[in-house]
Amino acid sequence: MSGRRGRLSVGVFVDVTNLARSGGYGMRYDVLREFACRGDAEPVRLNAYVSYDAERAEMDYLYRDGQYRFYSTLRDLGYKVIQKNVRWYTDENGNRFGKANADLDLAVDALLQSDNLDRVLLGTGDGDFVQVVRALQNKGCRVEVVAFDNVSAELRREADLWISGYLIPNLLPVQSSRSLAPWGEPGSRVRGVCYAHTGKGYGFLRYLNVIGPELWKTDSRQPGSPYASVFCHDSQWPPEVSVNDLPSRNLIFEFDLVRAENRENMLQAVNVQLVSGRRRLVERQPQLLTPTTGELPASLDSE
């Protein structure tokens, strides 16, 4: 393994449908590969498990061509595309529903490949993979999990590293459509968590500034830390967030980086929005949020 080649061997196994349905629609798979292989690791296996509705493809050429382009893009980036065809069923009430579960394929492939891997990255938030994580760890692999929303708490606990996909620079496009500076520079828009709040009208946000190998150096003052921190005045927190909820690792914010007034070489966060963690706030503060309804994209592709 790494001892023979001098580089860590990496395997990436992504449940495309799970991520697309849980906040990761539009994810950049080239950035995911870069993150998985940080520290000059070698990608030995890159698998993307996709759902394909052959019945729909016969009637909807936009869906068919969109899926084809997406799969071609994945292959260009070095991924092997494992296609699971949607199977349609009818329940006792006459309702049709489709299934295309790739869990078993992903689990078996990851375990079979584990003897050749030092690091395994799972792109899923499904709690059914907890036992798979344990099995991979018992075989000597370091297991990392990247997902967005609706992530199993047990899966997060079992992984050697759990990181929200929202926090990885450029993995998911920011909400703003404005022309922005590169991630982390003044004038850019980034995502991070509030790691400290003073109770005196302001707090501090931490964000991953670059994709670096030493993710454990969360203190931005440490040499080689890939993180940066930024000041945030209480007036900038979104209305659905109370300062009593801060600091919190579960609330992920998106914000603009601007130069702080009267503070040389310091940045501050403005136009702060909550992008993940809404469910917890709804449960605790239902009076602060207006219920909304969401609809999944007609296609589960990420292009």
Same domain flag for 71 and 194? no
CA atoms within 13 A on the CB side of 63: 14
Establish if 302 belongs to a structural domain. no
Domain boundary, last residue among 136, 167, 198: 167
Give the 3-state secondary structure of the chain. Answer: CHHHHCCCEEEEEEEHHHHHHHHHCCCCHHHHHHHHCCCCCEEEEEEEEEEECHHHHHHCHHHHHHHHHHHHHHHHCCCEEEEEECEEEECCCCCEEEECCCHHHHHHHHHHHHHHCCEEEEECCCHHHHHHHHHHHHCCCEEEEEECCCCCHHHHHHCCEEEEHHHCCCCCCCCCCCCCCCCCCCCCEEEEEEEEECCCCEEEEEEECCCCCCCCCCCCCCCCCCEEEEEEEHHHCCCCCCHHHCCEEEEEEEEEEEECCCCCCCEEEEEEEEEECHHHHHHHCHHHCCCCCCCCCCCCCCC
Establish if 277 belongs to a structural domain. yes
Establish if 284 belongs to a structural domain. yes
Establish if 141 belongs to a structural domain. yes
Same domain flag for 151 and 194? no
Backbone dihedral region of 2: left (phi > 0), alpha (psi from -120 to 50 degrees) or beta? alpha
Same domain flag for 18 and 160? yes
pLDDT tens for the chain, 303 residues long, are 554 457 899 999 999 999 999 999 999 999 999 999 999 999 999 999 998 888 888 888 898 899 999 999 999 999 999 998 866 556 666 666 455 567 889 999 999 999 999 999 999 999 999 999 999 999 999 999 999 999 999 999 999 999 999 999 999 998 765 678 999 999 999 999 999 999 999 999 999 999 999 999 999 999 999 999 999 999 999 999 999 999 999 999 999 999 987 766 789 999 999 998 864 444 444 333 333 333 333 333 333
Same domain flag for 31 and 156? yes
Q: How far apart are alpha carbons 157 and 213 in whole angstroms?
A: 21
Same domain flag for 60 and 193? no
- Per the CB < 8 A criterion, the answer to whether 95 and 88 are in contact is no
Q: What is the pLDDT of residue 274?
A: 96
The CA angle 30-170-101, to the nearest 5 degrees, is 55
Same domain flag for 139 and 233? no
Residue 189, both tokens = 């828009």
CATH number at residue 77: 3.40.50.1010
Establish if 249 belongs to a structural domain. yes
Q: What is the pLDDT of residue 86?
A: 67
- Per the CB < 8 A criterion, the answer to whether 248 and 194 are in contact is yes
Backbone dihedral region of 237: left (phi > 0), alpha (psi from -120 to 50 degrees) or beta? beta
Establish if 139 belongs to a structural domain. yes
User: Taking the CA atoms of the chain, what radius of gyration do you get in angstroms?
Assistant: 21
Same domain flag for 160 and 202? no
Number of domains in the chain: 2
Domain boundary, last residue among 135, 167, 199: 167
Report which residue type is found at 119.
Answer: R
Report which residue type is found at 106.
Answer: L
Establish if 297 belongs to a structural domain. no
- Per the CB < 8 A criterion, the answer to whether 16 and 302 are in contact is yes
Q: What is the pLDDT of residue 230?
A: 95
Q: How far apart are alpha carbons 150 and 253 in whole angstroms?
A: 17
Domain containing residue 95: 2-167
Same domain flag for 10 and 146? yes
Of how many residues is the chain composed? 303
Q: What is the pLDDT of residue 192?
A: 97
Cα 283 → chain centroid: 23
Establish if 142 belongs to a structural domain. yes
